Chains A and B, each alone.
Chain A
């Protein structure tokens, strides 16, 4: 009699997570032993583990009552929740170490930066820094900080945030020293931050991070020589290597976010980011991290803008397979998801899904570069003909099919200073292409057959089915529109990267090479200047070279001067103007390369979700909104 009841109890408790206290043979009191199985989550050294504990209890039962108490095993129920797919386990939450989108997405929402960018146009907005100023020589940047952003820790057991206190018991607010510590830790080579290179504009950052001076000798500098200092608790000053008007955009990147020295030193670099240990200062805190499985972020009520943060819980899964994630979306288990390419046609045809379909920007551009020291691409008319003859829209409609944006300039929308696609530079213009090539042929006294027999034009791409299909389509467009024969060759990525380097002998170099570029930070400087300036960067186009193998350059041309000037100009309007001029000249007048398309992601958003898609710096969940009533109605909760 007893045992059966006990078993029943255990079953009820274990399976329904219900605590039941009950029973006995009616009037006479008796004592029974109830075995309760309780599943608890404990944080042991930062690892959340699930423990099944068996507790024996003596219960005196006087009458038969059935009392079922719902245990609140889902503290997240009833909150405004975003169901999100991280896609993979975030390799790290440490802002110093993050270099992949998943890690950055999370860190963006749990840590504040000095600045943040407007998700629409890439312009820089205040965040931890209320305002900033630059010295007349453009080298010293002073940021004034607000003094009310609390360092907090979330306790997974109590479900509450508490503000951190220092050794004297004073509450900790994010201050200038945290910023300085963060910058030094990121740049310190011992931290091994992959993304430290974006900070190299800071004085001595390159030398300290690489450990070598300009001559390749071991550096004699110490971290104190880094160009960052706390002027007082609420003022931080950066000194740069050279003037850089885009620095506020870099200052907001995750690698320069303030970091909690005491927590990192207490738990060590690889442990401090675990749930229950991590100290954060952003709109959300880390509530739960089941490695490889799921992650929960909860709204930080102590955050300065807590009243504007509408979504209370981010419930994130880590589904790698995109078709599985898409199925979750269709089942209302995700609020937004990428559309796998094979599903695009179905989504567009479906009356419901097509309304939820969004073409979001990705800060990447696909382009073909011309080797300037390899005839006939030393002639601007040939380059222009090859660029203008590419029917970008047809390529997108028939080959890539991902709704990409046809490109006529380099930097994509969302990057500060980027021109609207199709307005400047060189887009598709078949008539111009024909005329341009004819002009070249006439001057050389060649026919198209002479052209084809004289020049062995090779288009190179790294081995991939997608690149091969694009190359074949463009090869055909060149044949159809210009009559030129182009061979296509592919190489494995590592070999390919070596080939397109500008120290490869020109005879081994392709005439035309494929590449893509993605943003490191949301400023044109990262694009037109860092990729194409012939004096800085890789100069794969081999512009302004003294010889075909580009052993040296003849110095900057007008384009190089434009992008350098734009990097130094302090007035944002002036910079936009300079970049527009540089972009237009480079793709248009100079036809230096052929912009092809700007990448996009095709995704679906549930109608109850209002969101942004910042192109750089991670998803800004704290700006998103969810109409929870509509979501509940649709999901039947």
Chain B
């Protein structure tokens, strides 16, 4: 088990280096570049060449890439090129990260239990109207991207009903957090409800459940001790995946609602072709994602003896 963890952790730096490579490669060959953004209408090839030289952007791809990786090894995330010129990326991230973490933590804290409860209800009333309506809404939540859900909810709750603020950020425990947290949580709810329901239906048809029922255990006992517990195990793994989708959702949700988090920073940085910020955000997201996956794998082993033994 320990060697498994060590092996996985050893892989992490390589994974991040690959992430840097892909992000960097896309930026290098994709349209737009920071010196063009910076110079705007004053662009002329000579000045652009001087700036590229200053920033080391005219060096060969491989060399620039190696420099990035080397800097990351020494935890030097560089400085913003265009958007927040000269400011250390680490400081920009440090300011924004807590907000994004709060937002995601709230979405998970709210979404996971709610999703499990709804999933359990759906499975319990399998095929009846409760099941159908829960499935309908979870499919809807899953299918509607935050890019659409955000403006729609804004329109209904902020503009028409005027019961929630339109945007801005007064902290997690304020009315301004309700809509963004709900949008992020809705995806989590949908994912967990569907998965819980599917798992429970699986387990319900398992032999040991039939045995438990035939032993004469009450339905409540069967459900809570045998069905739900077994059905919950696979959910741990999807938490990692869900985390990935909220990271993506954060980018859009934060931009729509004007929340000063990492997503908004990334959005601005992409517009300004501010590579150091884009790469730092991507790597950080990948790092969190990788850790979440590792955690899921480990936790899976801990709670399910069948996996630990094999």
> Is B truly associated with A?
yes
Chain A residues whose CB sits within 8 angstroms of the CB of B162 once the complex forms? 331
Chain B 77-101 against A: per-residue CB contact (8 Å), 1 yes, 0 no?
0000001111100000001100100
Given A292-B264, A321-B258, A324-B154; A501-B44 close (CB under 8 Å): yes
User: Is A538 positioned at the interface, with any CB of B under 8 Å from its CB?
Assistant: yes
Chain A residues whose CB sits within 8 angstroms of the CB of B265 once the complex forms? 292
Q: A333–B255 contact, CB under 8 A?
A: no
Q: B167–A328 contact, CB under 8 A?
A: yes
Which stretch, A63-71, A86-94, A139-147, touches the partner chain B?
A86-94
Chain B residues whose CB sits within 8 angstroms of the CB of A97 once the complex forms? 85-86
How far is A492 from B44 in the complex, measured between Cα atoms in Å?
15
What is the interface size of chain A, counting residues whose CB is below 8 A from a CB of the partner?
Answer: 39
With CB as the reference atom, state the residue of chain B lying closest to A290.
Answer: B260
Cβ 8 A contact of A317, one of B31, B33, B159, B167: B167
Q: B258–A91 contact, CB under 8 A?
A: no
User: Is B43 positioned at the interface, with any CB of A under 8 Å from its CB?
Assistant: yes
Q: B86–A192 contact, CB under 8 A?
A: yes
Q: A91–B167 contact, CB under 8 A?
A: no
Chain A residues whose CB sits within 8 angstroms of the CB of B267 once the complex forms? 320
Which stretch, B34-42, B116-124, B133-141, touches the partner chain A?
B34-42
Q: B158–A319 contact, CB under 8 A?
A: no
Q: A497–B258 contact, CB under 8 A?
A: no
Q: A492–B31 contact, CB under 8 A?
A: yes
User: Is A125 positioned at the interface, with any CB of B under 8 Å from its CB?
Assistant: no
Given A91-B85, A324-B257, A497-B43; A293-B168 close (CB under 8 Å): yes
- Least Cβ–Cβ distance between A578 and chain B, in angstroms: 24
How far is A194 from B80 in the complex, measured between Cα atoms in Å?
14
Given A321-B258, A327-B167; A291-B95 close (CB under 8 Å): yes
Q: B44–A320 contact, CB under 8 A?
A: no
Q: A192–B85 contact, CB under 8 A?
A: yes
Cβ < 8 Å to B, chain A residues 305-357: 317-321, 323-325, 327-328, 330-331, 333
- Least Cβ–Cβ distance between A160 and chain B, in angstroms: 25
Cβ 8 A contact of A292, one of B36, B43, B44, B260: B260
Q: B256–A292 contact, CB under 8 A?
A: no
User: Is A224 positioned at the interface, with any CB of B under 8 Å from its CB?
Assistant: no
Q: B32–A493 contact, CB under 8 A?
A: yes
Q: A320–B255 contact, CB under 8 A?
A: yes
User: Is A565 positioned at the interface, with any CB of B under 8 Å from its CB?
Assistant: no
- Least Cβ–Cβ distance between A289 and chain B, in angstroms: 11
Question: Can you list 8 A-B contacts with CB-CB less than 8 angstroms, sorted by A residue number?
Answer: A97-B85, A292-B261, A293-B259, A293-B260, A320-B267, A327-B166, A498-B45, A501-B45
Question: With contacts A91-B83, A497-B43 known, what are 8 further pairs, Cβ within 8 A?
Answer: A292-B265, A321-B167, A321-B255, A327-B154, A327-B158, A327-B159, A494-B32, A517-B41
Binding site for A on B (CB under 8 A): 31-33, 36, 38, 41-45, 83-87, 95-96, 99, 151, 154-155, 158-159, 162, 165-169, 255-261, 264-265, 267-268
Binding site for B on A (CB under 8 A): 88-89, 91-92, 97, 192, 194, 197, 270, 290-294, 317-321, 323-325, 327-328, 330-331, 333, 463, 492-494, 497-498, 501, 515-518, 538
Which 10 residue pairs across A and B have the least CB separation, nearest first? Answer: A292-B260, A319-B258, A293-B260, A327-B166, A324-B167, A328-B166, A91-B84, A291-B95, A497-B43, A492-B31
